[in-house]
């Protein structure tokens, strides 16, 4: 796997987006986000995610010329129509607007319909935390996970992010409602390694640690069995209800077109916040845990900004073919 300089990655992606006709600031934002995500150790939602965005744009599932619009303002809550503009661009705009609303009212929320895959959810959390705000955001998606005890996917694995400012690393909890994300299952399947814990069922319905067997059956385990089942359902219904958009049952399977997302930002009083994080992380670390959520990806990010970012050979060749 070649190790590339962060700026090389960012500039190359930026050039490709410009060639495909993405406008500014969208092209710059998407390039930065993908480079950041690979740099933070999440290549599946960074450089490796990039060709999929180009593909969905070429197929018309993502509209590079569109821009999300506010359909209704209730004061501190806005409903937006994403108009199928690139997901990460709309998600960044919505995060920034939620922050702006929170700056005025203490809490601010933007609910977006008709949007699409936003790459790595934690990026928006780290972005808000970097500006001194707390953020809860989540998305729905296609039915890609069966409810506990069912063999048929009827729920999305609907990732949720909770982020709080921290120094230097923000707290960023970023979890999908399946015990393993599709990205992680693909990694284990490619390496032929067993999952560390049961991640779903094989085609016969037996609990399994075989990522390939779970990918084949499509029977991913909801995180915490009935608990992830319930959380996924509630996140879906709340996102679609707030945004006026589609629920998981209605999201187009082709390219995850038309998902619903919610962004809720909160003012954090910085001195007390710093005391809280120091106290909470102190107890966790005294109990033998080396990191709080977000510290690992922050450390990886800082290391790779200095020493380079590993990128899959084939993916990079494909991107260079567009450059």
Q: Which is nearer to its own copies, 251 or 309 (CB)?
A: 251
Helix ranges (H only) for the chain are: 6-19, 26-39, 50-58, 87-105, 122-130, 182-191, 211-217, 226-243, 270-286, 295-307, 313-322
Among candidate residues 45, 48, 84, 117, the one labeled active-site is 45
Cα 233 to its chain centre, rounded Å, is 18
CB of 308 to its own copies, least distance (A): 27
Packing angle of the helix pair 295-307, 122-130 (nearest 10 deg): 90
CA angle 159, 162, 166 (to 5 degrees): 140
- Residues 64 and 47: beta-carbon distance below 8 Å: no
In whole angstroms, the minimum distance from the beta carbon of 250 to its own copies comes to 6
Which residue, among 167, 106, 143, has the nearest Cα to 249 in the 3D structure?
143
**Closest distance between its own copies and the C-beta of residue 155, in Å?**
7
DSSP 244: T
Nearer to its own copies among residue 202 and residue 250 (C-beta): 250
State the minimum distance, in angstroms, from the CB of residue 28 to its own copies. Answer: 30
For residue 123, the number of C-alpha atoms closer than 13 Å in the C-beta half-sphere is: 30
Q: How far apart are CA 19 and CA 5, in angstroms?
A: 21
> Is 47 strand, coil or helix?
coil
Q: 77 or 309: whose CB is closer to its own copies? A: 77
Could you count the other beta carbons within 10 Å of the beta carbon of residue 158? Answer: 28
Cβ proximity to its own copies: between 2 and 224 the closer is 224
Please indicate whether residue 45 is annotated as part of the active site. yes
- What is the SS3 assignment for 283? helix
Minimum CB distance to its own copies, residue 272 (Å)? 5
| Of 287 and 321, CB closest to its own copies | 287
Q: % helix / strand / coil in the chain, to the nearest 5?
A: 45, 20, 35
Cβ proximity to its own copies: between 12 and 248 the closer is 248
CB of 195 to its own copies, least distance (A): 11
Catalytic residues: 45
């Amino acid at each position: 796997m070649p190790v590339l300089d962060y700026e090389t990655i960012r500039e190359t992606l930026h050039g490709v987006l410009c060639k495909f006709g993405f406008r500014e600031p969208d092209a710059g934002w998407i390039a930065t986000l993908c480079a950041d995500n690979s740099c933070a150790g999440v290549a599946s939602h960074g450089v490796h995610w990039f060709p999929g965005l180009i593909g969905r744009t070429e197929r018309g599932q993502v509209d590079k010329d569109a821009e999300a619009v506010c359909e209704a303002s209730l004061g501190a809550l806005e409903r937006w129509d994403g108009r199928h503009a690139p997901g990460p661009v709309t998600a960044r705009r919505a995060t920034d607007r939620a922050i702006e609303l929170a700056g005025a009212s203490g809490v601010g929320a933007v609910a977006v319909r008709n949007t699409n895959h936003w790459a790595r959810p934690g990026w928006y959390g780290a972005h808000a935390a970097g500006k001194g705000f707390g953020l809860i955001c989540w998305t729905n998606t296609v039915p890609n996970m069966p409810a506990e005890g069912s063999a048929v996917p009827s729920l999305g694995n609907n990732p949720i992010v909770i982020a709080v400012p921290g120094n230097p690393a923000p707290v960023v909890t970023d979890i999908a409602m399946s015990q393993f994300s599709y990205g992680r299952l693909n990694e284990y399947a490619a390496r032929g390694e067993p999952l560390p814990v049961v991640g779903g069922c094989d085609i016969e319905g037996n609990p399994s640690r075989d990522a390939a067997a779970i990918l084949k059956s499509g029977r991913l385990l909801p995180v915490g069995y009935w608990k992830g089942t319930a959380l996924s359902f509630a996140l879906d219904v709340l996102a679609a209800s707030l945004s006026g958009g589609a629920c998981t049952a209605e999201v187009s399977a082709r390219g995850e077109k038309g998902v619903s997302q919610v962004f809720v930002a909160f003012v954090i009083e910085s001195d007390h916040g710093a005391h809280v994080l120091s106290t909470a992380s102190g107890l966790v670390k005294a109990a033998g845990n080396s990191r709080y959520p977000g510290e690992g990806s922050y450390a990886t990010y800082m290391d790779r900004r200095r020493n380079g970012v590993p990128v899959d050979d084939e993916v990079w060749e494909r991107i260079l073919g567009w450059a």
